[in-house]
Chain A
Amino acid sequence: MTTKRQQLPTWTQPGGWEVRWSKYAPKYNLIEDKIFAAHVKRADVDPVDTLERGGQTHSADTPDTLTSRHWGLPNSSIFARSGRPSNNEKGKYGGFNLTRDDCRAVATGEPLHGLYGDQFGEGSHWLWLTSPQTRWYYERIRERMKEMNRPDVKIFGTYGALEFYIIRNWDGLPTDSKYRQYYASQAAARQSCGYFKANLQEVMGGNVSWYPYAFDYAQDYYMRAHSMEIMRLGMGKDGMDAFCPLFLWGQIEANGLDFIHNGHHWERDLPNGLGRIRTARHPNADYDAVLAQAFANGFVRGSGVISWDEGTRFGSDPNTATNFWSEWQGRNGARLPFRNPHFPDSPASWHDACCVASLWYQSCERTAGKKWNYLRYRVNNGPWIEPARDGATILEHATANHYYEDGGRLQLMGRGDTMGRFNGNAYDWFYYNPGIGKHQSETVTVELNGKRFTQEVQGKTLCVCNETA
Chain B
Amino acid sequence: MEDQLVEKCVQLWEDPIPHLAQIREEGGIPVAYFCSYVPEEIMHAAGLTPVRLLGARRTISHADAHLQAYCCSVARTDLDMALAGELSFLEGAVFVQTCDTMMRLSDIWRRNTDFPFHGDLVLPVRMGEDISLPFLVEEVKRFKAQVEYHVGSSIREDALRESIRTYNENRRLAEEVYLLRRADPVAVDGLSAAAALMAGYWMKKEDHNALLKRFLENARSKGTEKLPQVRLLVTGSVCTTPDLYQLVQELGACVVDDDLCSGHRYFDSLVEESFPPEEALARRLWMRVNCPSKHQSLEDRAERLLKQVKESGAQGVVFYLQSFCEPHLFDVPYLRRKLQEEAGIPSVVLETELQSFSRGQLRTRLQAFIETIIGV
A and B together in one complex: no
Interface on A for B, CB 8 Å cutoff? none
